[in-house]
């Protein structure tokens, strides 16, 4: 491709024609002690401290691990039959995989679509994920339980499971670029739509703090705040606090969308 072709392509990518613009049309998520985007909005506007020191994940007895982390609610709840997951598989799935399915369903509904409408469409699935803290339990400690632990805790399967459940045919893969995984997944989805690899995309990101080993390693690395408090841009900043989130958004071209979220989840509603 000559320089003129590259210039034309670059201009098209940054200045799409009418109807080719890419919108976020649906969004859903679980956040620390916040069961939805709107619940999170209310908590933030009311200045609720969502980082807590309790025993919901593990006993706070190790001196190297900060006591305070952000924890989402109800990670042990899942309607397996609704998503066509058998009993054995559901009980050896990484909770991230279960919650991702729930939040994907909600994001699609939020966009004004029935998930069944996506079957056989060129919809891609792009998930950002760094660690699976369920691996120790289901791959090593309880490997005798059933044969589903391998796929239940595989990070690559997080995206593939969604594609299989929805019956979509676009690209489907997980992205791991550490702390930027979700943002990079969003970039990959945007480019895939722009370059014609898919017509729409489901983009998700997840992090759960399920086992103290990872937190202990981060603490010994010196990156965690001992008191479990982020102090961004403050002279007293001494590290960050670990927290959990599972969030999903739905990307579509303007011509295919039924609604758009220019201000993300209607913060002005």
| β pairing state of 123-129 and 200-207 | parallel
With a CB cutoff of 8 Å and minimum separation 6, the contacts of 123 are 166, 168, 169, 170, 198, 199, 200, 201, 202
Instruction: Identify the band that residue 193 occupies on the pLDDT scale cut at 50, 70 and 90.
Output: very high
What's the predicted TM-score (pTM) here? 0.84
Q: Which residue has the tokens 């919901």?
A: 56
pLDDT at residue 145, as a whole number: 57
pLDDT in tens, 107-125: 999 999 999 999 999 999 9
Q: Is the torsion defined by CA of 48, 249, 134, 145 positive or negative? A: positive
Q: 25 exposed, middle or buried (CB, 10 Å; 0-12, 13-18, 19+)?
A: buried
Instruction: Identify the band that residue 210 occupies on the pLDDT scale cut at 50, 70 and 90.
Output: confident
* Joined tokens for residue 50: 């969502």
Q: Which among 30, 108, 40 is positioned nearest to 76, based on CA atoms?
A: 30
* Joined tokens for residue 47: 């200045």
Separation between Cα atoms, residue 179 and residue 190, nearest integer Å? 19
Instruction: Identify the band that residue 212 occupies on the pLDDT scale cut at 50, 70 and 90.
Output: confident
pLDDT in tens, 213-230: 888 888 888 899 888 888
With a CB cutoff of 8 Å and minimum separation 6, the contacts of 47 are none
Over 60: is that where the pLDDT of 203 sits? yes
- DSSP secondary structure letter of residue 19: T
Are the CB atoms for 166 and 232 separated by under 8 Å?
no
pLDDT in tens, 113-168: 999 999 999 999 999 988 766 666 555 555 555 566 666 667 778 899 999 999 99
Separation between Cα atoms, residue 16 and residue 38, nearest integer Å? 31
pLDDT in tens, 226-269: 888 888 899 999 999 989 999 999 999 999 999 887 543 333 44
Report angle CA 92, 96, 100 to the nearest 5 degrees.
Answer: 115
pLDDT at residue 94, as a whole number: 84
Over 60: is that where the pLDDT of 5 sits? no
With a CB cutoff of 8 Å and minimum separation 6, the contacts of 244 are 30, 31, 32, 69, 70, 71, 72, 207, 208, 209
SS3 of residue 1 by DSSP? coil
pLDDT in tens, 85-111: 888 788 778 888 899 999 999 999 999
pLDDT in tens, 16-63: 788 889 999 999 999 999 999 999 999 999 999 999 888 888 777 777
Q: Where are the domains of the chain?
A: 22-256
What's the CATH class of domain 22-256? alpha beta
Instruction: Identify the band that residue 177 occupies on the pLDDT scale cut at 50, 70 and 90.
Output: very high
Are the CB atoms for 128 and 159 separated by under 8 Å?
no
| β pairing state of 123-129 and 245-253 | unpaired
Average pLDDT over residues 163-183: 94
């Amino acid at each position: 491709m000559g320089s003129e072709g590259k210039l034309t392509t670059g201009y098209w990518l940054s200045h799409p024609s009418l109807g080719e613009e890419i919108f976020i049309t649906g969004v859903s998520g679980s956040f620390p002690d916040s069961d939805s985007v709107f619940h999170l909005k209310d908590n933030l506007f009311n200045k609720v401290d969502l980082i807590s020191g309790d025993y919901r994940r593990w006993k706070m007895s190790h001196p190297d691990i900060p006591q305070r982390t952000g924890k989402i609610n109800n990670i042990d709840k899942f309607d397996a039959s609704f998503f066509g997951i058998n009993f054995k598989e559901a009980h050896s799935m990484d909770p991230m995989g279960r919650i991702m399915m729930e939040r994907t369903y909600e994001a699609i509904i939020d966009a004004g679509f029935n998930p069944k409408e996506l079957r056989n469409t060129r919809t891609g699935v792009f998930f950002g994920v760094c660690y699976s803290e369920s691996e120790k339990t289901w791959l090593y400690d309880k490997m005798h339980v059933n044969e589903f632990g391998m796929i239940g805790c595989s990070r690559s399967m997080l995206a593939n499971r969604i594609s299989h459940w929805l019956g979509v045919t676009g690209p489907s893969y997980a992205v791991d670029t550490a702390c930027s995984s979700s943002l990079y997944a969003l970039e990959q989805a945007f480019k895939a739509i722009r370059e014609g690899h898919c017509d729409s995309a489901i983009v998700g990101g997840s992090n759960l703090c399920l086992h103290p080993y990872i937190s202990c390693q981060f603490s010994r690395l010196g990156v965690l705040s001992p008191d479990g408090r982020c102090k961004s841009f403050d002279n007293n900043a001494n590290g960050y606090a670990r927290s959990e989130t599972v969030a999903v958004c739905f990307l579509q071209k303007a011509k295919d969308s039924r609604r758009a979220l220019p201000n993300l989840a209607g913060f002005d509603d």
